[in-house]
């Protein structure tokens, strides 16, 4: 079962598979965070962005298995909130780490494409 989750592919290998796309965003956020130096400013930002950036995919996966329409829309709403929060933290990263501004802006564009 874990390999099925880790190597998730949609039934038709659709280009717009949101489970895969949101998981990739989380993985990329982790890699991005690992590339940052440990400083008093970066450390709390890293903690925040890893939490919000990885929870987008977790909440979408839960929404995909929702028990009702109400549950689905609630969990999709959580995804949207986490994506917006992640965009906020990326903006803060860009300010604190000017050399990472371009990377942060690319992430923001990816997150905006989800909505």
Profile the chain (115 residues) by mean pLDDT over runs of 10 residues.
Answer: 43 70 94 94 96 96 94 95 96 94 92 80
Beta carbons within 10 angstroms of residue 79's beta carbon: 22
Q: What is the pLDDT of residue 12?
A: 53
Q: What is the pLDDT of residue 113?
A: 83
Fold of 17-114: de novo design (two linked rop proteins) (1.20.1440)
Q: What is the pLDDT of residue 13?
A: 55
Q: Measured between alpha carbons, how far is 82 from 102 in angstroms, rounded to an integer?
A: 21
For the chain, the domains span: 17-114
**Distant-in-sequence, close-in-space partners of 71: CB < 8 Å, separation ≥ 6:** 63
Q: What is the pLDDT of residue 3?
A: 39
């Amino acid at each position: 079962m874990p390999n099925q989750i880790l190597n998730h592919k949609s039934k038709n290998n659709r280009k717009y598979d949101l489970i895969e796309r949101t998981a990739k965003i989380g993985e990329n956020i982790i890699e991005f965070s690992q590339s940052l130096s440990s400083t008093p400013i970066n450390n709390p930002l890293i903690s925040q962005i890893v939490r919000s950036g990885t929870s987008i995919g977790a909440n979408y996966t839960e929404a995909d298995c929702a028990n009702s329409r109400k549950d689905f829309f609630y969990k999709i709403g959580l995804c949207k909130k986490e994506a917006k929060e992640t965009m906020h933290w990326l903006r803060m990263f860009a300010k604190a780490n000017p050399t990472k501004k371009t990377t942060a802006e690319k992430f923001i564009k990816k997150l905006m494409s989800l909505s």
